[in-house]
Structure 1
Amino acid sequence: MRLTPRAKSAGWLWQFLVYGAALSALIALNRFVALGKPFDGELLLRFAVLSFGLAAAANGLGWLGGRLAYLFTTAGIVVGVVLMFVYANRNMDGWEDLAGVLAFAEAAAFGIAIGLIAELARWLWKLRR
């Protein structure tokens, strides 16, 4: 069984939709349940835009054939979500939400960067052969 769909296949669209919805749910769960903040529909919409933007970046790289970029970007996002939940459970005198969002953004950015570097290295390796 393949972990990712073939390049430029319709499977990436379905994966994008599931990826974005799952990420939206996890970020909302962190904010409204783990941090105990009151529900805000506008903020939920912003979380969805952020989530689907990241899903478009990750799945777009995969759709173009960058499976390593997709996998490393996804790994960075997963680490970022885990860090958000870790910071939500720390007593930081009200800074838990900001620390969690910054950790999430940093982990996602590192994942994207490492994925692009890995794709570049793979491309150079193929070019050399």
Structure 2
Amino acid sequence: MFAIPAARSRVWYKLIIPLTSIITAAMLLLIRFVLFGQPFSFTILLRFTLLAVVLCAIAGIAGWFGARLMWLFTMLGTLIGLIWMASMSTTDTGWEDLASLLAFVQCVLLGLIIGPLAELAVFLFKRFTGRKNGL
């Protein structure tokens, strides 16, 4: 089973951030150019890759600083958003690409909101119960 690395571990910037960036970019590009059947555009490729790298870097840096739940919920939001985005490719009305991108952004933002709230909940739980280590 995969364990989330400790805060300030080298694993964050040597493995987690690059790996999640590559996987997220590949999935975005696969959905855009294969599932939606859009013509290849190098500009779109660069934009989606930049989106994936920035998103994964924000989550990875948060994890490196110790906000491991923020990383977890951001990546879960990204995964759910990618799945939702891919599932919107089934109909052919012409609005799927825009609607699916908005659904993806909505899921990612939800993950970015839930992550700090989970970190705050754990902090308050530890503070008021006197526990120093995990739940």
Tell me the TM-score range normalised by the shorter chain: over 0.9
Q: How far apart are the structure 2 equivalents of 1:116 and 1:71? A: 11
TM-score, normalised on structure 2? 0.90
Letter in 2 for 1:45: L
The residue type paired with residue 81 of structure 1 is: L
Corresponding position of 1:27: 28
| Aligned counterparts of 1:24 and 1:2: Cα–Cα separation in 2 | 21
> What secondary structure does 1:123 align onto?
helix
Give runs of aligned pairs for residues 1-129 of structure 1, distance below 5 A: 2-13=2-13, 14-91=15-92, 93-128=93-128, 129=130
Size of the alignment, in residue pairs? Answer: 128
Q: Tell me how far apart the structure 2 counterparts of residues 67 and 90 of structure 1 sit (CA, whole Å).
A: 37
- Give unmatched runs, 5+ long, in structure 1: none
Q: Which amino acid aligns with 2:39?
A: P
Unaligned regions of 5+ residues in structure 2, if any? Answer: 131-135
Quote the sequence identity (%): 39
Opposite residue 65 of structure 2, the aligned amino acid is L
CA RMSD in angstroms comes to 1.1
Cα deviation 1:83-119 (Å, max 9, x = unaligned): 110111123x100001110000000000111111000
- 1:8 is paired with a residue of what secondary structure? coil
- Give the secondary-structure state (helix, strand or coil) at the position aligned to 2:8: coil
Letter in 1 for 2:57: A
CA distance in 1, matches of 2:2, 2:28: 27
Cα pair distance change 1:2/1:96, threshold 3 Å: closer
Displacement over 2 Å in runs of 4+: none
Shift of 1:127: 2.0
1:60 CA drift (Å):
1.2
